[in-house]
Amino acid sequence: MSYSMARISSRISFLPRINAATAAHGLRSPRLARVPGIQARISGARVFSSTGTPHHSSTNDNNTSASSEPHSSSSVYTVNKEEIAKFAAMSDEWWAPQGPFKMLHLMNPPRIRYIRSRLEAVGTISSTASKRFPLQGLRVLDVGCGGGLLSESLARLGAQVTGLDASVENVQMALIHAKKDPLLNGGGPGSVEYRHQTAGNLLRSFEFVDMEQLVEEGLQFDVVCSLEVIEHVDNPAGFLKVLGDLLKPNGDLILSTMSRTKLSYFLTVLCAEHLLRMVPVGTHHWSKFINPEELAAGVEDLAKCQVVNIQGIGFNPLSGQWELTRSRDGSNVDSSTGSGGWMSLLGSPMAEAVNYFLSAKKAPAP
């Protein structure tokens, strides 16, 4: 399923921010430029300046920043040092199920179910693959891996995982925890390694080398995941382009983020942060949330991938669990496996009004 730019209205506020960023970093998109009203509103973009410096900051559980990334005209600068500092301060609590990352622990099982279901749906893995190691043979990149919650889970399913995080404290905690599981240390087909890098730095390997050399070195992946990250980076346009560059031809891109709706503000900022204290205050900045159509447009124009699925995920207060909602095509992996609750009955657009996933496919090599 492709989401054509022709269907995106000129009222979308994310697209001016994307186009402003692409102009600042040499990534201008002709299709985004043709959207009515976009060029006239670039100068009023709230997030980006001509140098890539943010006008306001935010925080993130899986951030993609680096404290030492060079700020040159040839770099893709997506960092936010304030966010990195906040999450570095909590790095020793990543693996505490009842700690500040409790909601991420609860979200991890449906994340894995979504990733497996989408990879199976597009033929990346077979429905008859090993039930224990269905991801065996796949190279997976987890951008903004934090303490390694998702990275470890994917490695236990047989994938060769590289986790990137801009916080050295997060990477250290992830390394320490991974050493505790024999399955991740030669006891199974999967493996996990962590790097204290941003996605942009991975492309340059800390040096300004060209893309062809990095491709020859194998720095492309079958699957690139970046979950609950893009709404926290300072340059979402450059970030999407780098994700696409790190993906092999015919590879799969898996993203998750939050919609910019009144409901998402009420639930994620007012309730989750200030009233119920389910996550630390300051974790979210509603103005940087991204609606599904906006993200789909950026993925297709900047990451050069075709969007194939958008599906919501919601927290069920009755069960205390995260549950996948119905996809836009009417399917729901939680319903088919019997693991869905009442959230699985929701469909678009209500299903995507807060948290949602997006999966996309890169074109095969010519």
Task: Extract the annotated binding site for S-adenosyl-L-methionine.
Answer: 111, 144, 165, 227
Q: Could you give the C-alpha distances from 339 to 102, 110, 319, 322, 334, in angstroms and in order?
A: 20, 9, 11, 11, 5
For residue 281, report the phi and psi dihedrals to the nearest 5 degrees: -60, 135
Instruction: Give the residue ranges of the annotated binding site.
Output: 111, 144, 165, 227-228, 231-232
Annotated binding site for Mg(2+): 228, 231-232
